[in-house]
Amino acid sequence: MPIAKPAASETGDPLLLTPGPLTTSTAVKQAMVHDWGSRDAEFLRINRMVLDRIVELAGGEGTHVTVPMQGSGTFAVEAMITSFVPRDGKLLVLINGAYGQRARKIAEIAGRAVAVHETPEDTPPDLTRLEKMLIEDKAITHVFAVHCETTSGILNPIGDIAALVARQGRRLLVDSMSAFGALESDARQIHYDAMAASWNKCLEGVAGLGFVV
């Protein structure tokens, strides 16, 4: 049988349906044609508009800010973990795929104490077990969760996780790479300290830029 070719985008290029960079919209590519001076008033206006719009999408107006990162999504996650988890803190990492594993490795390399709650790639975290771990280990200061784990596409119950973490008086860090801009991540409903994502996933921007809300 002949192998079906992927559908083409407006430019004639094949659509990228990979876990990494997705197809960049034509509108974004057209905006990049213009050369911008970093101190130009119009550039500063656009920059401010984008940062404010990210916070608005996150439902964090008045409580959160957007910090752009000059690197990949993993760069943003590393910045989030090493900035928010103090050296004397302890991070509980919820793992059900490669990106949870990556967060654990980042924290360990950074010299942070790490605890792990791991389930199979098709299984969300056990919230009863999670709560028990938080009750029993008072050294845990932060919890890390992946919103949508790219490995299998599993959607983790981030709202329930956030409520549980808040109830136990801990702080939540979220990797929302494959979810931000497509799935609900309203900071008024999902209480998190920080959420990392990147421009080149659901927002259809260019690769090489991430951000932390």
- Please write the tens of the pLDDT for every residue from 67-93: 999 998 999 999 999 999 999 999 999
Q: What pLDDT score does 8 carry?
A: 56
In a domain, 73, yes or no: yes
Rounded Cα gap, residues 61 and 172, in angstroms: 18
Q: What is the pLDDT of residues 124-142, one digit of tens each?
A: 999 999 999 999 999 999 9
Least confident of 9-13, 113-117, 137-141: 9-13
Whether 30 maps to a domain, the answer reads: no
Whether 15 is in a domain gets the answer: no
| Structural domains in the chain (count) | 1
Return the percentage of the chain with pLDDT > 70, whole number.
93
Task: Let me know: does 144 contact 92? Beta carbons within 8 Å.
Answer: yes
CB 23 within 8 A of CB 8: no
Q: Give the residue numbers spanning the domain of 58.
A: 49-212
Asked if the model's pLDDT at residue 29 lies above 70, the reply is yes
Residue-averaged pLDDT of the chain = 91
Q: How confident is the model at residue 1 (pLDDT cuts 50, 70, 90)?
A: very low
pTM of the model: 0.89
Residue 17 lies in a domain: no
User: Does residue 2 lie in a domain region?
Assistant: no
Using CA atoms, how far residue 35 sits from 32, 157, 209, in Å, is 7, 42, 18
Residue 28 within any structural domain of the chain: no
Task: Answer for the pair 148, 142: CB distance below 8 angstroms, yes or no.
Answer: no
Which CATH number does the domain housing residue 96 bear? 3.40.640.10
Q: Is residue 8 part of a domain?
A: no
Report if residue 18 sits inside a domain: no
Q: pLDDT by residue (tens digit) across 140-187?
A: 999 999 999 988 999 999 999 999 999 999 999 999 999 998 888 899
